[in-house]
Amino acid sequence: MDAMIPSFPNAFAPFIRSILDDIQRLIGPIYLVGDAPLCGILGKPLPNTLELLVARPLTECRKRLHRGDHHEAVMGHKHNSLIVPLKDWSHPKLIDIACFRSRPGHPATLEEDLLHRDVSVNAMAYTWPNGPLVDPFGGRKDLLNGPIHLVNGQDTLRENPLRALIFFRFAMMLGQPMDARDLTLATQTTLEAIIPEFIREEMDRILSLPLADEESQNQLRLLFASPLGDQVLPHLASLKHQENHAVGDTPWRQVIDATLAISAPADGEEISLLDLRWAILLGGYGLSRLTSHDHMEHSLAQINRRLESLEFSKRRSRRILGLLRNLNTSTNPTDRQLKRYLTSHIPLEGVYRLMQALTAANPAIPESQRIDEELHFQEIRDRCHAVRRAEQRLRPEDLPLSGGEILDMVRLPPGRWLRDLQADLVELVSREPHRNNKAELRAHVTRWIIHQREF
C-alpha cells in the first residue's frame, strides 16, 4: 500500500487534481471513498463518479464552493449528497460529496462512516492528496488476496438487506472468493423489505459483469442456487429438482449455463448482453415453449408478469419480449428472409445469439454438433450484418441533390460522368454525413467538374 500512496494522485488528470485541490482548500479535508481507492490499488481507470467524504455540513460546503466560484455545485437528489458536475469532461463525469454518517449516540467520524458500508473492499478511504489510506476492515488485503468480507457481518445485512446481492457483485467483479461465514449470512438474507426496482438494479449490475472466469461463474450459480436467488427469481427455484433423466441434468442448470454461454453482441446490434441474459433467466426452462405458437402467448404473458414484478421499464420489457417472441425464427434463413426480418425491426442477431446459447447449454447435444451449431450461428450473424449494411448503404436517390438538378446546374449532356459524380457524392456523404445538404453537395459538384478533364 505504501507504494500506492505517492503514485495515487498521478492517476488523476491535472484538471481533476486541480479541482480536488480546490475543493480541499475551500471545505477542508476530503477523503476519496467508493471505487476510487479500489481502482488506485488495482491500477484500473477511475470511476465515472468520484465519491468524497467531508466533515462539514453539506449546506456550508455548498456556500463555500459557490464563494470559490464553483457555482455548478448543487444539492443531489439523494439524501446527503452534494454534486459537482465536471462540465466538458468525459471521465470522471462528476464529484459526489457526502457527510460522515454515524449511529445514534456516536460521533460522526470517517471510521464511523466506513462502518456503515457494505463490503471490506468498498470501505476504504484515501486522504487527499498524499494519504494515508484509511482501511479499518482489511479491504486492501481482501482485494489482493481474498476472501471478500462484509464490513460488520449480520449487522451490515440487517441495516440494508440489499447488501447481500452487493456482496455477491463485488466478489464476481473482482474474481475473489467470499468469506464462508458471511456467505452463509448473505444467502439466508430476506429481501422482502427491499423495493423490487432496487433488486432489479443490483441484478443489472451483476448481469452486466463479464462473468468470464470460473470463480465468478460459480458464484452466479451459487447465488441462484441459494434462498437469496430464489427470492430474486422464484420461478427458477422450481426447476432445481426437475431432473432430465435422459441427460442426467436439471433444467435449472441448463438455464444458468445458457445465461453464462451468451456471447457479447457486436457494435450495431440492438440487444445488449444484459437483456440477453435477462431473457434467458426470465424465460427459464419455458423458452422451448416459445417456439410453439400454441404456447407462445401464454408463456410471454408469464414472462411479462415477471418483468412487471421486478419493475422493468416498458421500453426494456418490450425489447426483451420482442426478442423472445421471435425464437421461432428460421435457423436457415435466405437473404430475402433476413431482409424481411430486419425491416420488421426484429432484433435478429440477438435472437440467434439466444438460440446459440440455448444450444450450447443443452447436454443432450454432442460436443461436435455444438461446435457446428456455433459456427452456423456465427455465419448467420455475419450474413445479418451484411444485409443490414446493404440496407443502410446510401444510394444516389437518397441524396438531396438529384441527377436532374445536377444536369441543370452544370448544363452538360447526360453520360457516364453523371454516374461517376453521383458515386463520388455518395462516398463523400457516407464518410462525412454532415455534408448531406444541397449547399455542400453543390459546392462539391462544382469542384468535381472543375478538376475533371474528360466526360
Is the pLDDT confidence value at 414 over 70? yes
Residue 295 structural domain: 261-392
Is 239 within the bounds of a domain? Answer: no
Q: Is residue 445 within 8 Å of 421, Cβ to Cβ?
A: yes
Is the pLDDT confidence value at 248 over 60? no
* Residue 292: per-residue pLDDT: 60
CATH of the domain at 57: 3.30.460.10
* pLDDT single digits (tens) 147-174: 999 999 999 999 999 999 999 999 999 9
Is 243 within the bounds of a domain? Answer: no
Residues 47 and 165 reside in one and the same domain: no
Is 237 within the bounds of a domain? Answer: no
Mean pLDDT to the nearest integer, 204-216: 96
Residues 121 and 159 reside in one and the same domain: no
Is 246 within the bounds of a domain? Answer: no
Beta bridge mates, 51: 33, 96
Lowest mean pLDDT among 173-177, 271-275, 382-386: 382-386
Residues 386 and 280 reside in one and the same domain: yes
Residues 152 and 182 reside in one and the same domain: yes
Query: Which residue type occupies 383?
Result: R
Is the pLDDT confidence value at 382 over 70? yes
Is the pLDDT confidence value at 1 over 60? no
Domain final residue, candidates 182, 211, 232: 232
Cα(422)–Cα(401) distance, integer angstroms: 9
Residues 21 and 71 reside in one and the same domain: yes
* Residue 450: per-residue pLDDT: 82
Residues 279 and 407 reside in one and the same domain: no
Residues 435 and 366 reside in one and the same domain: no
Residues 135 and 153 reside in one and the same domain: no
* Residue 114: per-residue pLDDT: 95
Q: Write the secondary structure of the chain as one string of H (helix), E (strand) and C (coil).
A: CCCHHHHHHHHCCHHHHHHHHHHHHHHCCCEEECHHHHHHHHCCCCCCEEEEEECCCHHHHHHHHHHCCCCCCEECCCCCCEEEECCCCCCCCEEEEEECCCCCCCCCCHHHHHHCCCEHHHCCEEECCCCCEECCCCHHHHHHHCCECECCHHHHHHHCCCHHHHHHHHHHHHCCCECHHHHHHHHCCCCCCCCHHHHHHHHHHHHCCCCCCHHHHHHHHHHHHCHHHHHHCHHHHCCCCCCECCCCECHHHHHHHHHHHCCCCCCCCCCCHHHHHHHHHHHHHHHHHHHCHHHHHHHHHHHHHHHHHCCCCHHHHHHHHHHHHCCCCCCCCCHHHHHHHHHCCCCHHHHHHHHHHHHHCCCCCCHHHHHHHHHHHHHHHHHHHHHHHHHHCCCHHHCCCCHHHHHHHHCCCCCHHHHHHHHHHHHHHHHCHHHCCHHHHHHHHHHHHHHCCCC
Establish how many alpha carbons lie within 13 A of residue 350's alpha carbon, considering only the half-sphere containing its beta carbon.
26
Residues 70 and 98 reside in one and the same domain: yes
Residues 11 and 141 reside in one and the same domain: yes
Domain final residue, candidates 185, 214, 232: 232
Task: Report residue 294's pLDDT band, with 50, 70 and 90 as the boundaries.
Answer: low
- Omega prior to 132 cis, within 30 of 0: yes
Task: Report residue 32's pLDDT band, with 50, 70 and 90 as the boundaries.
Answer: very high
Cα(403)–Cα(419) distance, integer angstroms: 9
Exposed (0-12), middle (13-18) or buried (19+): which is 203, by Cβ within 10 Å?
buried
Is 200 within the bounds of a domain? Answer: yes
Report the chain's mean pLDDT, rounded to a whole number: 89
Task: Report residue 291's pLDDT band, with 50, 70 and 90 as the boundaries.
Answer: low
Is the pLDDT confidence value at 426 over 50? yes
Q: List phi, psi (to 5°) of 198.
A: -65, -35
Is 228 within the bounds of a domain? Answer: yes
Is the pLDDT confidence value at 200 over 80? yes
Of 60-64, 267-271, 341-345, 363-367, the range with the highest mean pLDDT is 60-64
Cα(323)–Cα(303) distance, integer angstroms: 12
CATH of the domain at 195: 1.10.110.30
Residues 286 and 198 reside in one and the same domain: no
Which SS3 state, helix, strand or coil, does residue 414 take?
coil
Is 208 within the bounds of a domain? Answer: yes
The conformation of residue 365, written as its DSSP 8-state character, comes to S
Is the pLDDT confidence value at 245 over 70? no
Residues 60 and 191 reside in one and the same domain: no
Radius of gyration of the chain (CA): 28
Is 34 within the bounds of a domain? Answer: yes
Number of domains in the chain: 4
Lowest mean pLDDT among 95-99, 100-104, 258-262, 331-335: 100-104
Residue with more model confidence, 43 or 26: 26
* Residue 293: per-residue pLDDT: 62
Domain final residue, candidates 232, 252, 275: 232
